[in-house]
């Protein structure tokens, strides 16, 4: 029998490439860092990187590829960002024009890809500490909300902060803050807990992306800056073309999660 030494992150990427996995990635390949994807033509790469530099909580940069190169040489050598995510969004003039399972045939010659840290990366640490991660418990995608907090703009990129939410008791939220603070590349500590209206969220049971999750008696919603924020900025930037992952359908890297 052939040895099966392959890492689970690579297996998952190859399943995406082969088209046999096209669902959300929370809880998959545990212990391997997951990443948000943003792809823009070279002429917009400076301003997008500047947007990330000015908004490091939602947009912690893990890797930026050289123009035209679809291989993330640092975080997953040998992978192909055009095929190795389960699901993509193609944006035209600020709107999702298409959802697709591959960017082959859609990749501009001078495309620059950005991989941004993802909150899924700290969920293993939360679970290990005995803290609840409700959307994993419930087998759902994490709920995400557009807030009324503006990001610092950069060139054409601007828009509201997007947050992810996990319900916890106040005591659990304190523990989670201490744990997540050790993961600055994965959005770090939460930015808020309690009243959703303070962030301009009208209805906690109706997320803008992902699925609603149960909030139990004694729990409050806890909010983290979210890597879907660039998708709100895409709406504002109205570039003729850009691409992102589909929310919850992340790129799984070879980076082992520490903390």
**Cβ closest to a copy of itself, residue 50 vs residue 177:** 50
220 Cβ contact list (under 8 Å, min separation 6):
167, 168, 169, 170, 173, 193, 194
Question: 54 or 92, CB closer to a copy of itself?
Answer: 54
DSSP 8-state class, residue 74: T
Single out the residue of 68, 66, 65, 80 nearest to residue 109, CA to CA: 68
Helix (H, G, I), strand (E, B) or coil at 136: helix
**Which residues bind to a copy of itself, rule: CB under 8 A?**
42, 45-46, 49-50, 53-54, 61, 64, 66, 112, 154
- Which lies closer to a copy of itself via its Cβ, residue 28 or residue 112? 112
To the nearest whole angstrom, how small is the minimum distance from the Cβ of residue 51 to a copy of itself? 10
Nearer to a copy of itself by Cβ, of 50 and 179: the residue is 50
Shortest CB 46 distance to a copy of itself, Å:
4
Beta carbon of residue 59, minimum distance to a copy of itself (angstroms, whole number): 11
* Min CB(29)–a copy of itself separation in Å: 25
Question: Would strands 95-100 and 251-256 be described as parallel, antiparallel, or unpaired?
Answer: unpaired
The C-alpha atoms of residue 65 and residue 140 are separated, in whole angstroms, by 31
210 within 8 A of 135, measured Cβ to Cβ: yes
Closest distance between a copy of itself and the C-beta of residue 60, in Å?
Answer: 11
Q: Which is nearer to a copy of itself, 29 or 154 (CB)?
A: 154
């Amino acid at each position: 029998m052939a040895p099966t030494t392959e890492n689970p992150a690579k297996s998952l990427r190859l399943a995406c490439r082969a088209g046999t996995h096209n669902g959300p990635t929370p809880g998959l390949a545990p212990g391997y860092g997951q990443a948000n994807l943003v792809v823009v033509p070279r002429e917009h790469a400076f301003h997008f990187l500047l947007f990330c530099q000015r908004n490091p909580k939602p947009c912690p940069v893990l890797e930026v590829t050289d123009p035209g190169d679809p291989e993330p040489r640092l975080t997953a050598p040998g992978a192909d960002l055009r095929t190795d995510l389960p699901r993509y969004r193609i944006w035209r003039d600020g709107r999702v024009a298409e959802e697709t399972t591959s960017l082959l045939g859609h990749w501009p010659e001078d495309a620059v890809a950005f991989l941004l840290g993802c909150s899924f990366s700290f969920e293993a640490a939360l679970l290990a500490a005995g803290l609840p991660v409700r959307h994993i418990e419930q087998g759902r995608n994490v709920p995400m909300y557009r807030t009324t907090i503006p990001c610092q703009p950069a060139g054409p990129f601007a828009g509201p902060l997007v947050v992810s939410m996990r319900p916890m008791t106040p005591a659990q939220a304190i523990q989670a803050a201490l744990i997540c603070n050790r993961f600055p590349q994965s959005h770090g500590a939460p930015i808020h807990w309690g009243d959703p209206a303070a962030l301009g969220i009208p209805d906690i049971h109706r997320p803008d992306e992902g699925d609603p999750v149960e909030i139990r008696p004694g729990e409050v919603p806890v909010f983290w800056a979210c890597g879907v924020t660039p998708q709100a900025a895409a709406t504002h930037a109205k570039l003729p073309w850009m691409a992102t992952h589909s929310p919850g359908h992340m790129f799984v890297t070879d980076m082992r999660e520490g903390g």
